[in-house]
Amino acid sequence: MNELEQLEQQFSSRIRLSMDQLLPVPDSSRLLDIEQDMNLEKPVNRRWLIWIAVLLGLTGISVAYWYQSQQKVPIQDEIKVITPENTPTRDIPALMHQHLDQQGEPNSPVIYQQEVISDE
């Protein structure tokens, strides 16, 4: 048995008795009050909450896009290409493309019509 063990054997019970005997004892009702005030529900893991929020957000955005695409009613723009009456028919597509290049690409399907101006 080394010195520390001998000293421990000599003093440990005395120290324990002395402290138990002379230190005050807490009021059990006060400790019970503290126990009752404690919220023993474990805190929710915030990392999981963040992931759930991100997933819900992405799902919401996807549903919104899908819903919007279902609601879209194609607008049938009408582009009239006015050509002189004597314009050869084979030139009309080229004129229509030229018109489109000037106006820019429309968002909705476009119906092309040719209106022929009569000289009369």
17 binds another protein, rule: CB under 8 A: yes
Distance (Å, rounded) from C-alpha 108 to C-alpha 118? Answer: 30
Stretch that binds another protein, among 22-30, 58-66, 79-87, 103-111 (CB under 8 A): 22-30
82 binds another protein, rule: CB under 8 A: no
43 binds another protein, rule: CB under 8 A: yes
First vs last C-alpha separation in the chain: 131
**In the Cβ-directed half-sphere of 120, how many Cα atoms lie within 13 Å?**
1
Stretch that binds another protein, among 29-37, 61-69, 96-104, 108-116 (CB under 8 A): 29-37
**Residues belonging to the chain:** 120
The one-character DSSP state at 85 is T
The one-character DSSP state at 86 is T
Which amino acid would we find at residue 43? P
**Binder among 22, 44, 73, 94 for another protein (CB under 8 A):** 22
Residues that bind another protein (CB under 8 A): 3-4, 7-8, 10-26, 28, 30-31, 34-35, 37-43
